[in-house]
Structures are given as C-alpha cells and as structure tokens.
C-alpha cells in the first residue's frame, strides 16, 4: 500500500488506511509537537489526537496535494492550541533531554568541548522556552520542517507578510535571548 491508497481507503471509510499513515508520519509529528510543547508525553497525545482529527477531516483532503504538510499543519495547530490553553510554559522532560543530548556529547572530542557544547545547548533551549508557543511554532516550521514562508502562510491561512513578520520577530527575540545569556 502507498500513501495515496491509504488515504483513499480512509475516504472510503476503511480505517485500515490510518495504520500506514501512522507508521510513516508519527515520529516526525511527535518531534514537531515536542519542539513546540517541550513535553514528550503531551506531544504524543497531541499526535494521537491529530491523527484522529485527520481521519475525521480526510474527506476534505485534496488528493492532488501531499499528505505530510496538511497533517503537520494539524499537529502544529493542535500544539499551539494546547499551549495557548496552558497558563504556564511546559518544562523540559529532563530524561528525554538527557538521552537526546548524551549522544551528541559523546561525539565531542574533549571535555572542554563537551562543556561548551552543553552550555550552548542549554542556552538555546532556555531561550526557546522563553519564546511564545506561536514563535516556537514558526521556528519549528521554518527550520525543522524546512517549510518555505509561502507554505507556512498557505497552511496558516494568512499572508506571507504576516509569516515573515512572525518569523522575524521570533528570530530577533531568540537572538536577543541568546546574546543576553552569553553575557
């Protein structure tokens, strides 16, 4: 089965097509949700709910378009909705963070380089946590999902100018936060 057949099965009311889509898009979707929420368990829940939303909305999906951008938009929107509903920023799951960065730190040659790498990584994540969920979302879409500004605007139903403004504001704030943390 390929993606097109899986989607057609869903459109025909056969939930069996969802298994194929989950296998091919779940890992990336969880990473996207995690980068916005900074909570692995919450990210997994968002992705499950996003797949259910995709299933419920599949009849409106245009078969001439790619599934992944459409689905990732659902994930980003669900992540933003959850974050906007929370009164506080979600903290880092230290266990997940430690395992993720241990692999990178093991590749660094000297102790000094490891310490410097960890400091830079910590500064980056601290700065990312200070961004609003919307700012984190545009950073994730642009640099993690490698979406163009036009794709981001189309998916958000807004103008390219608005996306450029949001992206510029997020980068400026992130840069300022990183510069302050270096001092």
User: 44-59 pLDDT, tens per residue?
Assistant: 999 999 999 999 999 9
For residue 60, what is the enclosing H or E element? none
Mean pLDDT across the stretch 25-31?
92
d(CA 94, CA 12): 43
d(CA 49, CA 33): 11
99 or 11: which leads in pLDDT: 11
CB hemisphere CA count around 24 (13 angstroms) = 15
Specify the pLDDT at position 9.
Answer: 92
69, pLDDT greater than 60: yes
pTM over 0.75: no
75, pLDDT greater than 50: yes
140, pLDDT greater than 90: no
Confidence class for position 27, pLDDT limits 50, 70, 90: very high
Q: What angle do CA 46, 21, 101 make, to 5 degrees?
A: 55
Specify the pLDDT at position 109.
Answer: 46
Specify the pLDDT at position 112.
Answer: 57
Confidence class for position 127, pLDDT limits 50, 70, 90: confident
Q: Which CATH number fits domain 1-91: 1.10.1740.10, 1.10.20.60, 1.10.510.10, 1.10.3720.10?
A: 1.10.1740.10
Mean pLDDT across the stretch 71-82?
90
What's the residue count for the chain?
183
d(CA 34, CA 96): 10
CA 17 vs. chain centroid, Å, equals 24
The dihedrals phi and psi of 157, each to the nearest 5 degrees, come to: 70, 35
Mean pLDDT across the stretch 168-173?
91
Specify the pLDDT at position 113.
Answer: 62
38, pLDDT greater than 90: no
């Amino acid at each position: 089965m390929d993606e097109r057949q899986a989607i057609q099965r869903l459109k025909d009311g056969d939930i069996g097509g969802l298994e194929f889509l989950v296998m091919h898009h779940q890992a990336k979707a969880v990473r996207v949700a995690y980068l916005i929420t900074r909570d692995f368990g919450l990210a997994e829940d968002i992705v499950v709910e996003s797949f259910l939303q995709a299933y419920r909305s599949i009849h409106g999906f245009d078969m001439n378009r790619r599934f992944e951008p459409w689905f990732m938009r659902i994930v980003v929107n669900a992540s933003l909705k959850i974050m906007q509903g929370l009164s506080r920023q979600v903290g880092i799951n230290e266990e997940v963070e430690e395992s993720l960065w241990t692999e990178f730190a093991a590749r660094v040659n000297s102790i000094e380089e490891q310490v410097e790498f960890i400091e830079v990584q910590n500064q980056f994540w601290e700065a990312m946590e200070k961004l609003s969920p919307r700012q984190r979302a545009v950073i994730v879409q642009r640099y993690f999902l490698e979406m163009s500004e036009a794709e981001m605007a189309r998916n958000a139903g807004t103008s390219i100018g608005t996306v450029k403004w949001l992206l510029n504001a997020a980068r400026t704030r992130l840069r300022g936060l990183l510069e302050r943390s270096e001092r």
